[in-house]
Amino acid sequence: MEVNRPQAAGWSGRERSLPFLKWIAWTAGITAAAPLLGVLLVAFGGSGADWRGAGDYALSSLVLAVSVASVIAPIGTITAWLVVRYRFPGRSVFSWALALPLAVPVFALAHAYADLLDVAGPVRSGLRASFGWSLPFEIRSMPGAVVVLSSAFYPYVFLSMKAAFRQQSGVTLEAAQSLGAGPRLALMRVAWPLAWPALAAGVALGVMETLADYGAVYFLSVQTLTTAVVRAWSVEGSVSAAAQFALPLLALAVSLMWFERLMRAGRRFTASAGWRPMPVLNLSPLQAVLATFFCGLVLSVSLIVPVGWLLIKALGVEPDVGRLLRAGVTSLSLGVSGSFLTVVLAVCLAIGARGRPLLLRLSSVGYAAPGAVIAIGLLAPVSLIWRLGQGEVQIVLSLILLLYAYCARLMGAAVEPIDAGLDRISPSIMQASASLGRDDARTAWSVQLPLARGACLASMLIVFVDIMKELPATLMLRPFNFDTLAVISSHYALDERLGQAAWPSLLILVLSVPAVIWLSSGGASSHLKRRTSS
Amino acid sequence: MALFRSVSFAVAALALAWGCSRTEAADEQDATAVKPSELNLYTARHYDSDLALYEQFTQETGIVINRIEGSADQLVARIRAEGAGSPADVFIAADAGALRRAQDAGVFQPVSSAELEARIPSALREPSGLWFGLTRRARIVAYDSSKVRPEEIDDYADLASSRFAGKLCVRSSDSVYNLSLVGALIEALGTEEARAWTRGVVANMARPPQGGDRDQIRAVGAGECEVALTNSYYYLRMRTGEDEADREVTEKVALAFPSLGGQGAHVNISGGGVVATAPNRENAVRFLEFLASQNAQAHTASFNSEFPVSDDTPWPEGIAPYRSFVAHPMPVHTFAGRQSEALTLMTEAGWK
C-alpha cells in the first residue's frame, strides 16, 4: 500500500472541474441544505426564545455526545479489530452480528431498557424479592442514556473500522513486523493510524445521531437541546423559538464535521497493487475465550437482551396483523425509494464537490439536526407546494416532500461513505484517465462511479435502515392514512403500551436485518477492494 | 451496474408507496362510482379504540375518514403551513392546553350546533364554539393503600406537604397533563400559591421526574414512593388490561380524587373543533356530533376508560365505581391558556 500525502492543490483542482459537475454538485448541495436554510430563516424571523435553562440542555447534549463518542470509539474499534485480525470461537457470526443493532430503532432500545430496568420492572422487582436489594443503577438517567445510545450507534464505528482494517494490506503489517514491531506495536503504529479516518467517520455518524435523538432521551428522562426544541414548540407554541434552540445543535454538527475533516486531512491512503489480505492470527485459548466473551457481551447488551425483552412483551399481546403488514409495505417502499434518491443526490454531490469540502460539509449538517427541526425548515417551502394541489395531487406532493425530507436529513450518512470511497481512489488512476483525454465528467462516470460502487451501495443501505427507523419527519409530512412501522410503534409507546409498540419495532428489525448483514458481511466494500487491488 | 438496476426497483417502490397511501380511501372510491363524501381528520389521539369509532362513523354516514395522527403541535404547524388549501376538516387533541394553542394559532372556526351545546356541559367547551371537550380525564393521585389513608390526600395541597417528603413520584414538566394541572392551580389559587405548591412538590419528590403515568403507578406498587400523580384512565386500563403484573399493581395501589381548594378534582379534556379552512365543514360538524353522542362516549369509556362528558352516558363496569367523584367546576378553557406560565413556575422550582 502506498501512503500518499495529497499535494496542496490536489488532483481535482477547481480550475479543471467542468461547470456541469459543479452545477450538479451545487444543485444537490442546495437541495440538501434548503431545510436548514429554512430553519435559519424561521429562527431569525420570530421573537426571541426563552434561553433560561438552555445552558443546562446544551451541557447535557454535550456530555451525552462526548460520553457516547468515548464509548463507541473503543468498542467499535476493538470488536472490529478482533473479528478482522483474530481467530476465536464465534468469530464468523460476530463479524456480521455485531452490526445488527443498527437495525433496531434506538427508541425501541430505550423502551426495552426503561421497562426492563425500571424500579417496577422484572429485574429490580426480582432482586428486591430475592435479596431485599436492588440495583443502584438508574436506567432513566444520563449513564442509562449513554448505554442505550452507545448500544444503538457503536455499529457505525464497527462497520467503518472493519472495512478499514479489511482494506489494509497484510504487506504493510508484515513490513512493520519485519522491522521488529510486535503485533501490538503494529496495531498501534501502523493499522491504527491507517484506520484513523474511518474511526473519525464512524464516530461522527454516531455522535450526530446522538445529537439528533429525541425519542430515546425523552424516554430515558434526559433533557437535551432536542428537549428544548420540542418544549419551545409544544408548550410555548413558538416554532421560531424551537428553531432557535436548534441552532446550537447545528453549530455542534458543523464543528463535528470540521473536526472529522481535520482528522482526515493529510491522511489519504490508497490501496496499491501490492495488496493482499491481512493474515488471520490465532489466539491463546484464554485470549480466544476472552475475545468471544467480549464480543458476546457487547452483542448481548446492545441486541440480545433488549430485543429479547421486546419479544417477550410482544408475545404477551395480540397484534393487529393487517395494520402491521400494511405499515411494513409502506416502510419498505419508503426505505427503498428514499435511499435510492438520497444516494443519487449524494453521488452527484460527492463527485462534484471534490475539492470543495465546505459544500459537502454543509449538506451533511442535516444529519445532526433532529427530524423535527428538518420538518420546521421544510414547512416554509412546503407551504407553497402544498397550496398547489388538492386531493391526489396533494398526496403525491406529500410523498415527494417526505422523500425529500429523508434526503435532506440523511444526506450526511450517504455522502460520508461515498466521499471516503472516492478518497481511496488513487490519484494515479485519475491521472491516467485524464491523460487518456477524458474530462472530469466522463472520468466521474467511467472511473470514479464504478470504483466507488461499493461505497454507494453501502451508503444506500445505511440510508435505507435509517429511513425504516425515521420518525419525526415522517410524522409531520406524511399523507393521509399512511402509517409506517415507526409511526405505529411511537403511537403505542405514547399510549404506554409496550407490548403493542414492540411488534412494529421488531418488524423494523426483521426488515432491516438483510441490509445490515449485507453491509456487514463486506459485500459493499469488497467491490472496492477487488477493483483497486487488481 | 447494480446502482442502475435498482432504478426500476426504486420507481416501483415509489409507486407502491403512493398506492398504499390511498388504499383505504381508494377501496371505497373504487366500489362506488360516485366520489363519496370525505372527512379529513388531523388527530393527536393515538388510541386503538378510536379506529373502531371512525369505522362506525363511516358505516352510519357513508363519510370516509382520512386521518393523520401526530403530535398536536406538529399538526397545528402543518395546518398553518398548508394555509387556505389545507385539507384538514377536524383537529383533535388530548389536552385542553393543546387545543388552546391551536385556537391561538387560528386553526379553528366557531361552530354552533344545538346538539353539541346540549350534550357537552358549557365548562367543557370553548365559549364561542371553537372547540369542544369530547371525553374527560381526571388528573389525580395513585397511592399505596397499605401506607396512606385516603383522607391524607383529599387536597392537591397535601402532595406538597411534609407528610409526603420523599414519598412522591411525578413525571416531568414536559407532560402536558402536568402543565394543565399546574395551570389549573394558578387559575384556582393564584400564581404565588401555585409557585409554593410546585416548590413543595419538587421538595417531596422521591426521585427525579421520569417515565409515563403508568410508570408512576408502578413505582408506587414497587414501594419507590407512596403517592403519584396520574391520569385516571392509565390506572383504570392497568386494572383491566392485558398485563398481569400491571393488574397485580392495581391491587396494591388505589386511586384518590383530591380536591382543588375544596371544589373537586382537576379534570382535563380530550376534544376537537372544526378547522377554519375545512373543505368539508358539514361533515366535520357531523363528526363532532357523532363523537359527542351517547354511543361514542360509551365506547370510549368502555375501551379507553376515559370519563364521559355527558351526564346521560352510562358508565361501563370498569369505571362505574368512580362515577360519584366530584369534578372541579372550573371551565377548561380558563386553565388551557396557562401552560406557558405553568412551565415557568415548574422550571423555576426545579421540576425537570
For residue range B307-316, list pLDDT tens digits in order.
999 999 999 9
Average pLDDT over residues A522-527: 48
Judged by CB atoms closer than 8 Å, whether chains meet at A481 and B67 is answered as yes
A234 has a chain B CB within 8 A of its CB:
yes
Chain A residues lying within 8 Å of B211, measured CB to CB: 114, 118, 140, 221
B82 has a chain A CB within 8 A of its CB:
yes
Judged by CB atoms closer than 8 Å, whether chains meet at A387 and B84 is answered as yes
- A22's enclosing H/E stretch is helix A19-45
Judged by CB atoms closer than 8 Å, whether chains meet at B83 and A383 is answered as yes
The amino acid at residue B239 is R
Average pLDDT over residues B44-67: 93
**CA-based nearest residue to B50, from B65, B29, B28:** B65
Length of chain B: 352
Please say whether the beta carbons of B194 and B230 come within 8 A.
no
Please say whether the beta carbons of A505 and A442 come within 8 A.
no
**What pLDDT, on the 0 to 100 scale, is given for residue B218?**
93
For chain A, the average pLDDT equals: 82
For chain B, the average pLDDT equals: 89
Q: Which of A237, A392, A453 sits opposite B2 (nearest CB)?
A: A453
* B 278-337 near A (Cβ less than 8 A): none
Q: Is residue A263 part of a domain?
A: yes
A450 has a chain B CB within 8 A of its CB:
yes
Residue B339 has pLDDT above 60, yes or no: yes
Phi, psi of B258 (to 5 degrees): -65, 165
**What pLDDT, on the 0 to 100 scale, is given for residue A439?**
74
Average pLDDT over residues A135-144: 87
User: In A94-115, which positions are buried (b, 16+ CB within 10 angstroms) versus exposed (e)?
Assistant: bbbbbbbbbbbbbbbbbbbbbb
Give the CA-trace dihedral at B221, B227, B228, B234, to 10 degrees: 50
A164 has a chain B CB within 8 A of its CB:
no
A329 has a chain B CB within 8 A of its CB:
yes
Judged by CB atoms closer than 8 Å, whether chains meet at A221 and B2 is answered as no
Average pLDDT over residues A227-240: 79
Average pLDDT over residues A120-142: 83
Chain A residues lying within 8 Å of B87, measured CB to CB: 390, 394, 480
**What pLDDT, on the 0 to 100 scale, is given for residue B22?**
47
Judged by CB atoms closer than 8 Å, whether chains meet at B83 and A376 is answered as no
Q: What band does A418 get if pLDDT is binned at 50, 70 and 90?
A: confident
Residue B29 has pLDDT above 60, yes or no: no
Residue A13 has pLDDT above 70, yes or no: no
Most confident range (mean pLDDT) of A52-66, A519-533, B183-197 is B183-197
Tally of domains within chain A: 1
**What pLDDT, on the 0 to 100 scale, is given for residue B53?**
95
Q: Is residue A1 part of a domain?
A: no
Give the CA-trace dihedral at B235, B238, B241, B244, to 10 degrees: -160
Side-chain-facing half-sphere of A88: CA atoms under 13 Å: 23
**What pLDDT, on the 0 to 100 scale, is given for residue B2?**
45
**Distance (Å) from the alpha carbon of A504 to chain B's nearest alpha carbon:** 15
Residue A534 has pLDDT above 50, yes or no: no
Chain B residues lying within 8 Å of A42, measured CB to CB: none
In order of start, what are the domains of chain B with their CATH numbers? 35-135+268-321 (3.40.190.10), 138-266+327-349 (3.40.190.10)
* A 99-128 near B (Cβ less than 8 A): 114, 118-120, 122, 124-125, 128
Q: What band does A272 get if pLDDT is binned at 50, 70 and 90?
A: low
pLDDT tens figures, A366-375: 777 777 777 7
* B 108-137 near A (Cβ less than 8 A): none
Residue B235 has pLDDT above 90, yes or no: yes
Cα–Cα separations (whole angstroms), residue B139 to A53, A255, A436, B50, B184: 27, 45, 77, 21, 11
Least confident of A68-82, A155-169, B245-259, B286-300: A155-169
Q: Which of B86, B212, B221 sits opposite A120 (nearest CB)?
A: B221
B17 has a chain A CB within 8 A of its CB:
yes
Chain B residues lying within 8 Å of A460, measured CB to CB: 6
Q: Which has more confidence, A19 or A488?
A: A488
Q: Dihedral of CA B162/B166/B172/B178: which sign?
A: negative
Average pLDDT over residues A206-225: 88
Judged by CB atoms closer than 8 Å, whether chains meet at B23 and A227 is answered as no
Residue A132: CB atoms within 10 A of its CB come to 7
Please say whether the beta carbons of B131 and B103 come within 8 A.
yes
Please say whether the beta carbons of A516 and A103 come within 8 A.
yes
Chain B residues lying within 8 Å of A482, measured CB to CB: 20-21, 68
Q: Which of A379, A492, A500 sits opposite B81 (nearest CB)?
A: A379
**CA-based nearest residue to A246, from A490, A470, A41, A474:** A41
Judged by CB atoms closer than 8 Å, whether chains meet at A390 and B209 is answered as no
**CA-based nearest residue to A322, from A132, A504, A50:** A504
A363 has a chain B CB within 8 A of its CB:
no
Q: What band does B80 get if pLDDT is binned at 50, 70 and 90?
A: confident
Percent of residues, chain B, with pLDDT higher than 90: 74
* A 407-426 near B (Cβ less than 8 A): none
**What pLDDT, on the 0 to 100 scale, is given for residue A5?**
40
B105 has a chain A CB within 8 A of its CB:
yes
Q: Whole-angstrom Cα distance, residue A351 to residue A367?
A: 20
Phi, psi of B140 (to 5 degrees): -135, -160
Q: What band does A10 get if pLDDT is binned at 50, 70 and 90?
A: very low
pLDDT tens figures, A174-215: 777 777 777 777 777 777 777 888 898 889 889 988 988 888
Q: Which of A333, A383, A398 sits opposite B20 (nearest CB)?
A: A333
Least confident of A110-119, A171-180, A316-325, B277-286: A171-180
Q: How many degrees, rounded to 5, is the angle at CA B106 between CA B101 and CA B111?
A: 100
* A 238-277 near B (Cβ less than 8 A): 239
**What pLDDT, on the 0 to 100 scale, is given for residue B11?**
53
Residue A151 has pLDDT above 70, yes or no: yes
Interface ipTM: 0.80
Q: Whole-angstrom Cα distance, residue A372 to residue B33?
A: 40
**CA-based nearest residue to A80, from A324, A238, A377, A278:** A278
Q: Could you tell me which residues come within 8 angstroms of residue A214 by beta carbon, excluding any fewer than 6 positions away?
A: A226, A227, A229, A230, A370, A371, A372, A472
**What pLDDT, on the 0 to 100 scale, is given for residue B327?**
94
Q: Is residue A288 part of a domain?
A: yes
Q: Is residue A2 part of a domain?
A: no
Q: Which has more confidence, A366 or A169?
A: A366
Q: Whole-angstrom Cα distance, residue A455 to residue A461?
A: 10
Least confident of A233-237, A280-284, A391-395: A391-395
Q: Whole-angstrom Cα distance, residue A12 to residue A16?
A: 7
Q: Whole-angstrom Cα distance, residue A213 to residue B22?
A: 31
Residue A451 has pLDDT above 60, yes or no: yes
Chain B: residue whose CA lies nearest to A499: B243
Q: How many degrees, rounded to 5, is the angle at CA B41 between CA B331 and CA B48?
A: 85
Residue A156 has pLDDT above 80, yes or no: yes
Domain around A27: 9-533
Across-strand partners of B230? B140
**What pLDDT, on the 0 to 100 scale, is given for residue A529?**
43
Least confident of A181-190, B118-127, B315-324: A181-190
Q: Whole-angstrom Cα distance, residue B53 to residue B152?
A: 40
Residue A270 has pLDDT above 60, yes or no: no
Chain B residues lying within 8 Å of A491, measured CB to CB: 46, 69
Q: What band does A496 get if pLDDT is binned at 50, 70 and 90?
A: confident
Average pLDDT over residues B293-304: 94
pLDDT tens figures, A304-335: 999 999 999 999 888 999 999 999 999 999 99
**What pLDDT, on the 0 to 100 scale, is given for residue A11?**
41
pLDDT tens figures, B145-168: 999 999 999 999 999 999 999 999
Least confident of A408-422, B270-284, B320-334: A408-422
**What pLDDT, on the 0 to 100 scale, is given for residue A2?**
40
Judged by CB atoms closer than 8 Å, whether chains meet at A476 and B14 is answered as no
**What pLDDT, on the 0 to 100 scale, is given for residue A8?**
39
**What pLDDT, on the 0 to 100 scale, is given for residue B35?**
60
Q: Whole-angstrom Cα distance, residue A390 to residue B244?
A: 48
A231 has a chain B CB within 8 A of its CB:
yes
Q: Is residue A128 part of a domain?
A: yes
**What pLDDT, on the 0 to 100 scale, is given for residue A67?**
97
Q: Which of A221, A231, A375 sits opposite B74 (nearest CB)?
A: A375
* CATH code of the domain in which A155 resides: 1.10.3720.10
Query: Can you say how many angstroms the Cα of residue B268 is from the centroid of all Cα atoms in its chain?
Result: 8
pLDDT tens figures, A455-480: 888 889 889 999 999 887 888 788 88
Residue B86: CB atoms within 10 A of its CB come to 23
